[in-house]
Structure 1
Amino acid sequence: MARITSDKAASGVTGNLLASDTTGAAATMAAPFGHALVQVADRNPRVLGLTADLGKYTDLHVFAERFPERFLQIGMAEQNLIGVAAGLARTGFTPFATTYCVFATRRAYDFIAIGAALGKANVKIIAGLPGLTTGYGGTHQGIEDLALMRSVPNLVVIDPCDATEIAQVVPAIAAYEGPVYMRLLRGQVPVVLDPAGYRFEIGKARLLHEGADVALLSTGLMTGRALEARNLLAREKIQAAVLHVSTLKPFDREGVLNLLGRVKAVVTAENHVITGGLASAVADAVADAGLSIRLKRVGIPDCFCESGSIPYLVKRYHLDADSIAAAARSVLQ
């Protein structure tokens, strides 16, 4: 298969611009998505890689270097990216299409809904710069993408925690027949979950720690911060459970309700606006089940965020471990 255009950004190393936040990480892994996709493509010749001029900035350059004949550079045309991917899926390919969250969900929403989801096309949309993982302000910060994608029927929605989970998500969604939206952490990605013990499964939340006092429910990179918050609370003799909910759709209601049936003080933590994402999914499940809980939401408020360094923005919008721990103390009062 010939490339549509050349892609100068598809070779070399991951671009330094807009890199993942590795603050406090004990270990990192380079380009876990790109390397996992190469491993999948080694086994499945129908896997293709497509991008909208962002190969180097979504770790797809790793795939492009290994499989240049299976790499398509669509250019800065996100609607075309999804349309082409949906067409390729109709002919039996498994296309992985990469761009940024804001470009996929804002510019190409109709193409995702109709081209991919309506007919259950086997398209995998890989979206970089989720939430506050870039300091470039409202034009580049994908703060509402989970809400938009959760509302689309037939679409699986995943927000991985770290390099360990990304490496497991890629083969899982390649094997899944249907459209998937996955948030991407790129470049040097922290390793939070133990590769030897953690196992990802579509639609399943994972209880990382038990705790009788408060339940911390988190998704994406916020799970690393929830684990830090648990350690902070343990110093105060507060026992916190940590439930990692990487699949936002289909939502693991059973797993969530099983925990919240035992622990009534609850904090949700997400790298996303607090409306339409994890907190809303938890509240919906609790309301449907008729449970009574006390809930605090940690996430981005109803605003477009400032530009600035990642550490500044994390503190500014209270997405750090200290803020999760403070929410836990508050819900326990």
Structure 2
Amino acid sequence: MSASTTTEAPDTTTAVKPKLKTSAMIASFADPGQKTAPAPFGHALVRAAEEDPRIVGLTADLGKYTDMHIFARAFPDRFFQMGMAEQLLFGAAAGMAETGLVPFASTYAVFAARRAYDFLCLDIAEPGLNVNIVGGLPGLTTGYGPSHQATEDIAIFRGMPNLTIVDPCDSLDIEQAVPQLAASEGPTYLRLLRGNVPTVLDEYDYTFELGRAKELRPGRDVLFISSGLMTMRALQAAEELAAHHVDVAVLHSPTIKPFDNDTVLRELGKDRLVVTLENHTEVGGLFETVAGVAVRQGAGRRIVPIALPDRFLDAGALPTLHEKYGLSRNRIVQTVLDELA
């Protein structure tokens, strides 16, 4: 199916109103006019490989759609096209890691989590090999339906011992995460944002540190704890809520496992409305991670989740879907105002 194929939402109003549309496999969540960086993962992997000759790249017939094609052009002798066989992809990556190489293996997140789980678990995680799984189209980042919407990938992977899980916000997060994932001794799973990825965190004196959550802005009234692209939305909503005289703090947690319990607990200890925001089902992801930390430590706080529902989602244009399922800036603002009313 061509990457240029578009899916259009029906237009039942006038011909003047533009139709919402989204590219089928390279859907972007960037706002019009927003600053973006092209293929940050692919370029970051090339830079890391220039410094570390052990790094190799593999993909399951999805080089173009996971930005692995950037690496393939730079290092053709260190790139391996495994075809549409995710189990083989992970098995080969495990074998390469056993010989001392540092593989980055890319596919769609749905295939990594649903189709090849056992190979990742027993061939990679159980022996603790340095294999880095790169999962494209995480959560609601494509207009396609459940076959390509990995809304439950974190829930599937959180229970796997030894596996580090990273959900980056933007191009800066991805660029800084890649060399740290390569240097991490055990296996990792990166929820990939690809194509023209927004650049957001450069305005907040931010640096990615594996396993650490970072406060991006302080606030007295509300605490947002967010991951992935929802950190961008959290920052946008915080700005809009300021116009309603609501002071919002934003804590970005790009590493879901191992989780930064200490930082989150410190922030939970303040008297504020707590809201988690994630591009993932509310089952088994950031919300339940934060809630689990709170319960285990006796924080006794009510936590409001902004997340995808526990059901298979519709296909359609991304702006429409994000609005429908509560991930849009407007829906976030309204949720907070309703909670504070």
Question: What TM-score, normalized by structure 1, do the two folds share?
Answer: 0.93
Task: Specify the code of the residue in structure 2 equivalent to 1:278.
Answer: L
Q: Pairwise mapping of residues 25-40 of structure 1 onto structure 2 (< 5 A)?
A: 26-40=34-48
Aligned partner of 1:131 in structure 2 is 139
Aligned partner of 1:155 in structure 2 is 163
CA distance in structure 1 between the partners assigned to 2:203 and 2:60 by the alignment: 31
Gaps of 5+ in 1: 1-8, 10-14
Indicate which of 43, 47, 53 corresponds to 2:51. Answer: 43
Deviation at 1:273, TM superposition (A): 0.2
Conservation of the 8 A alpha-carbon contact between 2:24 and 2:142:
no
CA distance in structure 1 between the partners assigned to 2:47 and 2:27 by the alignment: 23
Indicate which of 125, 142, 157 corresponds to 2:150. Answer: 142
CA distance in structure 1 between the partners assigned to 2:30 and 2:80 by the alignment: 30
Q: Pairwise mapping of residues 52-71 of structure 1 onto structure 2 (< 5 A)?
A: 52-71=60-79
**1:146-192 alpha-carbon deviations (Å, 9 max, x no partner):** 11111101000000000011000001101111100000011110101
Aligned partner of 2:16 in structure 1 is none
Aligned partner of 2:113 in structure 1 is 105
Conservation of the 8 A alpha-carbon contact between 1:46 and 1:92:
yes
Aligned partner of 2:31 in structure 1 is 23
CA distance in structure 1 between the partners assigned to 2:325 and 2:204 by the alignment: 34
Conservation of the 8 A alpha-carbon contact between 2:24 and 2:144:
no
Asked if 1:234 corresponds to 2:242, the answer is: yes
Q: For the structure 1 residues 297 and 24, does the alpha-carbon distance in structure 2 shift closer, same or farther, using more than 3 Å as the test?
A: farther
Task: Specify the code of the residue in structure 1 equivalent to 2:314.
Answer: E
Q: For the structure 1 residues 189 and 108, does the alpha-carbon distance in structure 2 shift closer, same or farther, using more than 3 Å as the test?
A: same
Q: Give SS of 1:56's match.
A: coil
Aligned partner of 2:338 in structure 1 is 330
Deviation at 1:22, TM superposition (A): 1.5
Asked if 1:305 corresponds to 2:313, the answer is: yes
**1:247-269 alpha-carbon deviations (Å, 9 max, x no partner):** 00000111111111013411111
**1:4-23 alpha-carbon deviations (Å, 9 max, x no partner):** xxxxx9xxxxx984233222
Identity of aligned residues (%): 51
Q: Give SS of 1:48's match.
A: strand
CA distance in structure 2 between the partners assigned to 1:25 and 1:131 by the alignment: 23
Task: Specify the code of the residue in structure 1 equivalent to 2:284.
Answer: G
Q: Give SS of 1:157's match.
A: strand
Asked if 1:168 corresponds to 2:168, the answer is: no
Aligned partner of 1:277 in structure 2 is 285
Indicate which of 241, 260, 271 corresponds to 1:263. Answer: 271
User: Cα RMSD over matched residues?
Assistant: 1.5
CA distance in structure 2 between the partners assigned to 1:277 and 1:34 by the alignment: 26
Worse overlay, 45-54 or 264-273: 264-273
Q: Give SS of 1:227's match.
A: helix
**1:220-246 alpha-carbon deviations (Å, 9 max, x no partner):** 000000001101110011111100010
Aligned partner of 1:120 in structure 2 is 128
Aligned partner of 1:189 in structure 2 is 197
CA distance in structure 2 between the partners assigned to 1:239 and 1:173 by the alignment: 34
Indicate which of 89, 92, 97 corresponds to 1:89. Answer: 97
CA distance in structure 1 between the partners assigned to 2:271 and 2:279 by the alignment: 23
CA distance in structure 2 between the partners assigned to 1:25 and 1:89 by the alignment: 42
Conservation of the 8 A alpha-carbon contact between 1:52 and 1:76:
yes
Indicate which of 198, 219, 224 corresponds to 2:206. Answer: 198
Question: What TM-score, normalized by structure 2, do the two folds share?
Answer: 0.91
Deviation at 1:324, TM superposition (A): 1.7
The count of corresponding residues between Structure 1 and Structure 2 is 320
Task: Specify the code of the residue in structure 2 equivalent to 1:319.
Answer: L
Conservation of the 8 A alpha-carbon contact between 2:222 and 2:273:
yes
Q: Give SS of 1:137's match.
A: coil
Q: For the structure 1 residues 69 and 196, does the alpha-carbon distance in structure 2 shift closer, same or farther, using more than 3 Å as the test?
A: farther
Conservation of the 8 A alpha-carbon contact between 1:268 and 1:278:
yes
CA distance in structure 1 between the partners assigned to 2:80 and 2:234 by the alignment: 38
Gaps of 5+ in 2: 4-22
Aligned partner of 1:218 in structure 2 is 226
Aligned partner of 1:248 in structure 2 is 256
Q: Give SS of 2:64's match.
A: coil
CA distance in structure 1 between the partners assigned to 2:271 and 2:204 by the alignment: 28
CA distance in structure 1 between the partners assigned to 2:269 and 2:32 by the alignment: 33
Aligned partner of 2:299 in structure 1 is 291
Aligned partner of 1:6 in structure 2 is none
Task: Specify the code of the residue in structure 2 equivalent to 1:126.
Answer: V
Q: For the structure 1 residues 156 and 97, does the alpha-carbon distance in structure 2 shift closer, same or farther, using more than 3 Å as the test?
A: same
